[in-house]
Structure 1
Amino acid sequence: MFATMSSWYASIPSPGPEWQQIPLPFWPYRITTYALIILVGIVVAAIWTSRRLTKRGGEPGVVLDIILWAVPLGIIGARLYHVITHPGDYFYPGAELWKVVAIWDGGNAIFGSLIGGAIGAWIGCRWTGIRFWSFADVLAPALLLAQAIGRLGNYFNQELFGLPTNVPWGLQIDAGNKAIPVGLPDNTLFQPLFLYEIIWNVIGIVVILWLERKFKLRWGKTFAVYLIWYGLGRSYLESIRIDPSEFSILGIQSNVWAAFLAVVLGVVLFIVQTRRHPGLEPGVYVTGREWHKPDAEVDSDDTDSDDEDEGDDAATPNEPGAAKATSSLGS
């Protein structure tokens, strides 16, 4: 009993309901903390992605044209996936069906977001002339950062937590939380999955940037590493989640299968693109739709130093003799 109480006092407290909404000055409405954090993650990711794409020859601001497609479809995909895999939370006698679209209350699945966002990004890339895989590569580390920031929203919403635990960093959750199984003591601590994923994603950013720089990853191979890394981490986190998806195959929850699928897709993508495109990209634009940066050379490698890329054999559309694209969308 004493050990349990000691663990409770040494644990991670969860924000109360008063922290879940922020009043807007001079406005009779409030914004949910979850929505604000998600918005911050999107903005930060967009800025970093834009910087990386511009360094590789993209027109400044072109990322905005792409995310105007990717973000809305990503949000729709995230919500649809969550509702489909957790139907019991929304469809029951007396349920308020309008809550199916209440994305501000939380409940947005990352795998659905990836599917919807990928469709939106593909449309945006077609619209702007950017190679899809070039965009995916520059997005990869920024996407992990956005996901890490977004997990703070889960923390404020007291959602996405794991099984009961006695570890000192266990997470306190209000006793009335609907995800807590009936019968558990009020002072039960839970695995802080939001914190685990933040740490995993931050480490992943470092790993991806290191591999990208060391091996000059292009043609979607950086994004392939992202899929592998995130899929591996998420497969474990989903396996210890207290409110797993309601569908399972062979005793394994659908979200775990989705994580496994991300790993497989990442491995296949890396192998296929390595065989099809052993060299560097000729540029981030589809052939014939290039944007030429006026009176300046394009830095073809995503580094902070202007002289780190000397000797890099990457050709760009601005350079004489630049190689032509092998596919209209970068394959």
Structure 2
Amino acid sequence: MTLTINPVAFNLGNLSVKWYGVIMALAIILAVSMAIIEGRKRQIESDDFVDLLLWAVPLGYVGARIYYVIFEWQYYAQHPDQIIAIWNGGIAIYGGLLAGLVVLLIFCYKKMLPPFLMLDILTPGVMAAQILGRWGNFINQEAHGGPTTLGFLQSLHLPNFIISQMKINGIYYQPTFLYESFFNLIGLILILVLRHKKHLFKQGEIFMLYLAWYSVVRFFVEGMRTDSLYLWGSIRVSQLLSLILLVIVIGLFIYRRKVVKPKWYLDGSGLKYPYNRD
């Protein structure tokens, strides 16, 4: 298969560095940088985000792989040697997010940091990383939708390089990577515009807005993809999880507003670091 865009960015001797890896590295740097900038305003030390990165990224990839292997167990049970062969593909973002959440909760407990505030601070960076990361799928010509026509792609007024890249083995495919990136970009802009409005978000609600937004976007995009993981018959794992997350988020939002009554997200701005540290 001849690719319009070479997946290899450059070579270092015998080592080929692929664009996917470069894009993912840039996405991680972007996420941490955004968190550090916002963290300073919320009295969270920059080193905390760097320390969290060192744990969350590798364990997040492990979680993404485990999630994928579980739902493709019929194959991996017959090929156990391929379970750790992550370089051959096969990770799921929901698994990475769940693993990252567990790491963050443990990290916050150890560091005596407020977990919901940390989640709020990290959320825009995570969204930006997801938006950028999908372009790695684009270059690899993966995570696309079903077959479509050249005329349809042209009707979307897409640049020629996107249309060309969506032609795989002589067939044009839906650029689902682009749909997900575009709608998540709208969600990111919405959060960035609104998060500093006084008395709008309680701590934890920026993160919950992200979960709700992403769940809706992923539900519809997943329905178009050709590489979905399935649970039973035609039930797609990511669509089911999206619905479950959306229900949980709505219930948690109502419960916290009525019962817990947490602090506003902007509370504490301008004060000295308010948390006891070792």
Aligned twin of 1:274: 257
CA deviation map 1:22-46 (0-9, x unaligned): 3444x43122322221121111101
- C-alpha displacement of 1:57: 0.6
CA distance in 2, matches of 1:244, 1:127: 37
8 Å Cα contact 1:73-1:119 kept in structure 2: no
Aligned counterpart for 2:94 among listed residues 71, 94, 111: 111
Percent of aligned pairs with the same amino acid: 30
Q: Letter of the aligned partner of 1:224 in structure 2?
A: M
Using a 3 Å threshold, how does the CA distance of structure 1 residues 191 and 60 change in structure 2: closer, same or farther? same
Distance (Å, rounded) in 2 between the aligned partners of 1:256 and 1:239 = 7
Query: Counterpart of 2:67?
Result: 81
Q: Does 1:172 align with 2:166?
A: yes
The one of 110, 133, 145 equivalent to 1:162 is: 145
Q: Which moved more, 1:209-218 or 1:256-265?
A: 209-218
**Residue 22 and residue 89 in structure 1: after superposition, are their counterparts in 2 closer, same or farther (change >3 A)?**
farther
Query: Could you tell me how far 1:199 is from its partner in structure 2?
Result: 0.3
2:3 maps to what in 1?
16
Distance (whole Å) between structure 1 residues aligned to residue 142 and residue 217 of structure 2: 18
- Aligned mates of 1:154, 1:15 — CA distance in 2: 16
SS of the residue 1:189 aligns to: strand
The whole-number CA distance in structure 2 between the counterparts of 1:51 and 1:21 is: 32
| 1:221-232 mapped onto 2 (5 Å cutoff) | 221-232=205-216
Given that residues 137 and 177 in structure 2 are in contact (C-alpha distance below 8 angstroms), is that contact kept between their aligned partners in structure 1? yes
Please identify which structure carries the higher helix content.
Answer: 2
1:57 aligns with one of 28, 35, 43: 43
TM-score (norm 1): 0.71
Deviations 1:122-170 (A, max 9, x none): 1221222211111100111111110011101111221101112221256
Partner-residue secondary structure (3-state), 1:22: strand
Cα distance change, pair 279–117 in 1 and its aligned pair in 2 (3 A): closer
Preserved CA contact (<8 Å) 1:66 1:121: yes
Contact 1:22 1:32 in 2 (8 A): yes
Task: Kindly provide the CA deviation profile for residues 40-93 of structure 1, in whole angstroms up to 9, marking residues without a partner as x.
Answer: 11111011011111111111221111222221221111111122223456455x
Moved over 6 A (4+): none
What CA distance in whole angstroms lies between the structure 1 residues aligned with 2:75 and 2:144? 16
Residue deviations 1:181-234 (CA, integer Å, cap 9, x gap): xxxxxx321110111111011101011223323344132110000000000000
Structure 2 Cα separation of the partners of residues 272 and 49 of structure 1: 27
Gaps of 5+ in 2: 155-162
Once the 2 structures are TM-superposed, how far is the Cα of residue 17 of structure 1 from its aligned partner? Answer: 8.4
What TM-score do you get using the length of structure 2 for normalisation?
0.84
Structure 2 CA distance for aligned equivalents of residues 52 and 63 of structure 1? 11
**Distance in 2 separating the partners of 1:248 and 1:212:** 39
Cα gap change, 1:124/1:83 in structure 2, threshold over 3 Å: closer, same or farther? Answer: same
Q: Match for 1:152: what amino acid?
A: W
Q: Which residue of 2 aligns with 1:289?
A: none
Q: CA RMSD in A?
A: 2.7
Aligned length: 263
**Residue 173 of structure 1: how far off its partner (Å):** 4.1
- In structure 2, the residue matched to 1:315 is 268
1:69 alignment partner in structure 2: 55
The 8 Å contact of residues 90 and 100 in structure 1, kept in 2 or not, is answered as yes
Equivalence for 2:201 = 217
SS of the residue aligned with 1:252? coil
Cα gap change, 1:102 to 1:232, in 2 (>3 Å): same
Task: Find the residue that maps to 1:168 and give its secondary structure.
Answer: helix
Assess if the C-alpha contact under 8 Å between 1:70 and 1:124 holds in 2: no
Distance verdict in 2 for CA 1:174–1:315, change over 3 Å: closer
Residues in 1 aligned to 2:107 and 2:11: alpha-carbon distance in whole angstroms:
33
Unpaired stretches in structure 1, ≥5 consecutive residues: 1-13, 176-186, 282-300, 302-313
Q: Indicate how the Cα distance of structure 1 residues 103 and 37 shifts in structure 2: closer, same or farther if over 3 A, else same.
A: farther
1:1-331 aligned at under 5 Å gives the runs: 16=3, 19-25=6-12, 27-87=13-73, 90=76, 92=78, 95=79, 97-166=80-149, 167-169=152-154, 172-175=166-169, 187-214=170-197, 215-248=199-232, 251-275=234-258, 276-280=260-264, 301=266, 314-315=267-268, 318=271
